[in-house]
Chains A and B, each alone.
Chain A
Amino acid sequence: MEKCYICKDKQAEIRCVIVIRGRKIVRHLCADCARKAGFTEQLKYTRRNLSSAPKITTERRDIICSGCHLEFSQFLKTGLFGCPKCYETFDRFIGDILKGIHSATYHRGRGPGKERDLDLAQLRWKLSEAVQSEDFEKAADLRDEIYQIEKGVN
């Protein structure tokens, strides 16, 4: 039984052939590590049918965001992320870019408003979504919840 190349703990399930500057590197990964590395589409291939799994040939850049399915190579072309999750997915690769632009990689400014305001904003947004999708039962519950929070403060 082959262990995952990254965590050295779980059983390897996915065979990846990564091409970096023309050099092929074969790595066998477990499902969790593969997901973290961005190989989300390939998880259906288990150890049992590993030999039948198609060879994943990818460049280091072609890591895919699980939130919006943006490939890193697409980001390099457009300079645009696709969703908030891209920041986590591509974290390892944008450090140098951010440092080059901002001379920093960590936020130091203020955060969003108070926790209560954030909760209210979330609820109001959900209420608006419920109204738009005509889910009036849910909308009534949300409205009551908002009322309770607002009443608690006032």
Chain B
Amino acid sequence: MGGENFEVVLGSEALYVRNVAGKNFPSRLDDMELKNLRHHLITSLKDPLYDFKLWETDVLRNEDLGFLIERFSAPHEIQRYNKGSALFLSEDESRWVCLNIIDHLRFRVAKGGSDIEACYRNARLMEERFEKSLPFAYSERFGFLTSRPTECGTALVLRFYVHIPGVIFSNGFFKLRDKLSKAGTVLQPLQDESMSTEGHVFIVHTAHSLGVDEEEVLAAAQDMLDEIVEMEYEARAELVSKARFQIEDKIMRGIGVLTHAKMIAKKEGYALANALRLGAAEKIIGDTIDIMSATELYFVGQSIHLARLTGGGDGILADSNRADLFRSYLKQGE
């Protein structure tokens, strides 16, 4: 975590998708074929990924997979496609390589903040290393061939996670969404499937991979990112100057709830994390909590993290544990 423009951009990532030439994609392989292919891929990637941890995902419990998904250390599809698949994960969890999940190879490089170019360059280096031992499925017309034709071509997706309460409070969200859509970029909420402005963290990702080259994908993502960051900083500055009391009130109420509430539901916890993160970024709440701790609340408030950190429990007990856990973060900053 951390990095350039961290107040607005939680993180950036570059995702590559590749398949081995002449082999069926995972959806058309039976369990035995998947396992053989996995063994084969692991043998080929062992050297370039010597310092990565490796799991064969069908031996992992659902809870373990869920834990990795909650911290963005594995793609969410890993739970659905866990037969004959595997996950290589770097020690700092910024890089993962998935085998046999939708495609033979999906790999990601992530970084805190807005340095999308560093993510792309590092992912490209990984791809070059893999290319030495794996012949990738490629056609002149469709580029790199993927299970989903929506990803063929460069088979590269650039993605970032943005916290944009300023844009939302100043009613600029739909304007931003339309602008991104016209530029071939997709904006979707982090927590909720429906497009609502209730949460303040959104995923923005490139949608075009055919008819554009890698540098154009990067330039388009960078332009959009710059625009979002600028728009959010401007909106926050205007809000703080014109509606400081209302913003402060919203954030201080959040702190009030955190300090005294006996139970905090998951959704409420997420809203509180949003408010605290904004308060910390805009230095409205002094030293009550720093921006890193406020960002951590997004992770620790989720079901599996909460269970591991507080010893488990469902319903009322989980909400009560969440309230205690969040309060402990608040105290750390005091």
Contact = CB atoms under 8 A, between A and B. Distances in A.
Interface string B134-145: 111111111111
A31 to B, nearest CB: 25
Nearest to A119: B135
- Looking at chain B's contact residues, is the secondary structure mostly helix, strand, loop, or mixed? loop
Given A83-B24, A94-B149, A97-B149, A104 B208 contact: yes
A117 B22 CA distance: 17
Interface stretch (A5-13, A35-43, A56-64, A108-116): A108-116
A147 interface: no
Contact of B24 (A82, A104, A108): A82
Given A112-B138, A125-B134, A84 B145 contact: yes
Contacts, number: 144
A29 B18 CA distance: 37
B150 A107 contact: no
Interface magnitude class on chain A: 35 or more
Given A94-B149, A102-B210, A124-B133, 5 more contacts: A84-B19, A87-B141, A102-B211, A107-B140, A112-B131
Contact of B148 (A67, A79, A118, A129): A79
Contacts of B145: 81, 84, 87
A80 interface: yes
B133 A87 contact: no
Interface of B: 19-25, 27-28, 36, 39-40, 43-44, 102, 128, 131-150, 152-154, 156, 184, 207-214, 216-217
| 7 pairs of A and B residues whose beta carbons are closest in the complex | A104-B211, A107-B143, A82-B28, A102-B210, A109-B154, A109-B213, A84-B137
Given A105-B210, A132-B43, A87 B152 contact: yes
A104 B44 contact: no
Contacts of A88: 139
A73 interface: no
